[in-house]
Amino acid sequence: MSAGCRIRHIILILFCCLAANDSIFAQESLSCDHRAYLSLRLSDGSSAVPLYSGDPATGDLLPFEVFLADAGTFLTCLGYSTQNYLYGLDPNTYELYRIGAEGQMENLGIPAGLDTSYFYRAGTMSPDGIRMVLMAQNKTTSLDEKIVAIRTDLPNLATSSTALVSEDPIRLGDIAFDPYYGNGYGFDELNKRLVNIGWPGGLVTSYNYDQLADVSKMGSLFFDTTGVLYAYGSSASGSVEKVLYTLNKGTGEIVQTRNGPSGLESDGCNCPYRIRMKRSLDKQKVLPCESFIVEYALWNTAGTVYTNINLLDVFPPGFEIQEILQVPYSAPVFSQGVGDDILSYDEFDLLLGQDTLLVQVGAPAEPGIYNMQAEMGPFPPAFNLVVLSDDPRKEGAFDPNVLTVIGEGDIFSDDKSFLCPGGTTILETGLQTGDFLWNDGSTEAFLEITTPGIYWVEVMGECGSWRDTIEVELLPAPLQLDLGPDREARIGTYVDLTSLSNTQLPLDYVWLSPNASLDCIHCPAVQIGPLIDDAQVILEASNAFGCFDSDTLNIRVLKDRAVYMPNAFSPEGNGINDRFYPQGLENASINYFRIFNRWGQLIFESTDGQINDPDIGWDGVLGGKQLPEGIYVWTLSLTFEDGYRQKMAGDVLLMR
């Protein structure tokens, strides 16, 4: 069998094996687009149990949107399989559900051998993507005692279990596996800290992690494809889970917090699996017959080793593999390679982490532009069975490499270049080897010029010599930038900035600000903020033709610390004026917000959150009982974004 057929033959077998299991194809599978999924039991009394999805790495934006409006039951132990399905367990009935595209749910029943005398809350999918890993919690002590595995690839969903080994009693809110190394992590709600989980051994340790005093619960724990650890839970001052945490998996510390949808319980997961093949060329342009090096960087951050993998690279006719310079693993097997135009690296084990294959290749004598791409497989459906190589120099995914073999008149990328008045520009051949001769007698691969005119270069190589000509034209005026008039902005806000110039030619930008944050340094347009104090922005721009200019913009920050507190509210449940809370134009954190009755008794307190958030307000209730109409006294302490602290007090009329 030829190398080109080998991968496709294995993939065909894999398709046939999958098709033999009818239940897998009863649903349309999801797409492993690396979004997170969140099951939430709502806190507003609604009977609906929504599923959310979103990208947790979306900066300060709220990342989750509704994926399924009502799953019908709250699911724990959510996990994403390499077959592109979500799995979750109903903690009350012990039935396992599989969820496909468009939220299609299939009840798979109670897994064979699952011990229903335990409660299962924390769980996820194992690194191999086929086993659900659950923590078995004693219903009497509420402590985790066993680690249970469910085979989602078997019709009877067979289970196995191992006793947990831990120095301290533990109760895990959720668990997750690091896609880079396969290590298990959990959040222990008894001791308020991260723990490491050995699977399948069951050893639980917490040597590296301090207590997270600001956290009450973390019902969801999951990784993204880059190995960043996230959690969804509640702060120490509240029972509602609505905070998305970004965690340092080395120290267990909280790096970032953002608010999301509110719920009494949550469980979440992600599709963290990622296998990549970065294919790089050490030269983008070569002479006919010139040698170049191809680097295959093989990345496995899917949490497990994949065996019997094949890598196939079919070069265009005329190319010849000259030497295998470096192999990633011992005892390599190449069914095709040196002396051929096909590279076939056969039946190797793709280990966790990154490894490199280096190959030296000779270019053909025929000039032209050649596209090249390798493939590697077979893998489960989460990786589309076959992984195509990607050129890391390009922004898209799975881009082929492009190699230019020059011919007569092909040395310069354009027939014309430009020169800024009083500037200097460099004529580049883009070649790394060969003997060069310019019209002025220079012999370098480039020529620096200060005057317009017509220039030529001749390049001699192994297969012959080639010449090209370029015209350099003088631009009519120096470069001029304009950032516009100075601006004003409110404290804590962001400002979008762009510039005008007198040229249509591409520019290289450098944005600078000595006292504010910019979201990009080298973009044509940027955003600055959040603005706390007056800021200055400097833009420098240049191009390849010797043009340069700069401009400066000043931004005055307006600080309006006025806070509005209503003098009355009516908590009647009609959605109008139901809660009493502070409001204002600027963002401010609440240090404390307290309400007292006429005898001075504290009846409400909030020590977390931001102004303008009704969720932190008072609804006229104490201990589940509606308080009577009357005047109540409030006190408030705030910290604004520039660190300024403000205290306020007053009274409010509760109306019914």
Give one DSSP letter per residue of 175-208, joined into a string: EEE-TTT--EEEEETTTTEEEEE-TTT-EEE-TT
Considering the domain boundaries, does residue 30 fall inside one? no
509 and 388 assigned to the same domain: no
625 and 604 assigned to the same domain: yes
Secondary structure string (H, E, C) spanning 106-121: EEEECCCCCCCCEEEE
Q: How far apart are CA 459 and CA 469, in angstroms?
A: 12
Q: How far apart are CA 240 and CA 43, in angstroms?
A: 7
421 prior amide bond cis, ω within 30: no
Which of 538, 558, 578 is a domain's end point? 558
Which residue range is the domain that position 309 belongs to?
275-405
126 and 86 assigned to the same domain: yes
Considering the domain boundaries, does residue 3 fall inside one? no
Residue 344 pairs in a beta bridge with 312, 336
pLDDT at res. 187: 96
39 and 120 assigned to the same domain: yes
Q: How far apart are CA 477 and CA 262, in angstroms?
A: 59
Considering the domain boundaries, does residue 60 fall inside one? yes
Bridge pairing between strands 416-419 and 464-474: parallel
Distances (CA, A) of 645 to 262, 529, 558, 636: 28, 21, 17, 11
Residues contacting 13, CB < 8 A, separation 6+: none
Amino acid at 509: Y
Residue 223 in contact with residue 176, Cβ under 8 Å?
Answer: yes
Counted domains in the chain:
5
Residue 86 in contact with residue 30, Cβ under 8 Å?
Answer: yes
- CB burial readout 429-468, b (16+ within 10 A) else e: bebeebebebeeeeeebebebeeeeebebebebebeebeb
Q: How far apart are CA 301 and CA 384, in angstroms?
A: 15
Which of 382, 405, 428 is a domain's end point? 405
379 and 313 assigned to the same domain: yes
447 and 521 assigned to the same domain: no
Considering the domain boundaries, does residue 14 fall inside one? no
Considering the domain boundaries, does residue 153 fall inside one? yes
78 and 222 assigned to the same domain: yes
pLDDT at res. 60: 53
pLDDT at res. 237: 72
Structure tokens at 526: 């940027």
Only one residue has tokens 């003098």, namely 567
- CB burial readout 63-78, b (16+ within 10 A) else e: bbeebbeebebbbbbb
CATH assignment at residue 534: 2.60.40.10
321 and 449 assigned to the same domain: no
Residue 20, exposed/middle/buried by CB under 10 A (0-12, 13-18, 19+)?
Answer: exposed
Q: How far apart are CA 584 and CA 595, in angstroms?
A: 19
CA 335 to chain centre: 38
CATH assignment at residue 365: 2.60.40.740
Considering the domain boundaries, does residue 410 fall inside one? no
Structure tokens at 190: 């008894």
pLDDT at res. 63: 65
3-state secondary structure of 553: strand
Which of 511, 532, 558 is a domain's end point? 558
CATH assignment at residue 624: 2.60.40
pLDDT at res. 367: 95
487 and 374 assigned to the same domain: no
Considering the domain boundaries, does residue 532 fall inside one? yes
138 and 260 assigned to the same domain: yes
pTM of the model: 0.65
Q: Residue 611, CB half-sphere, CA atoms under 13 Å: how many?
A: 21
Residue 403 in contact with residue 286, Cβ under 8 Å?
Answer: yes
Ranges of residues in the chain with a pLDDT under 70 are 1-26, 44-45, 59-63
Q: How far apart are CA 449 and CA 595, in angstroms?
A: 76
Element spanning 397, H or E:
none
395 and 424 assigned to the same domain: no
60 and 201 assigned to the same domain: yes
Considering the domain boundaries, does residue 364 fall inside one? yes
- Report the candidate in 318, 325, 377, 366 with the shortest Cα–Cα distance to residue 342: 318
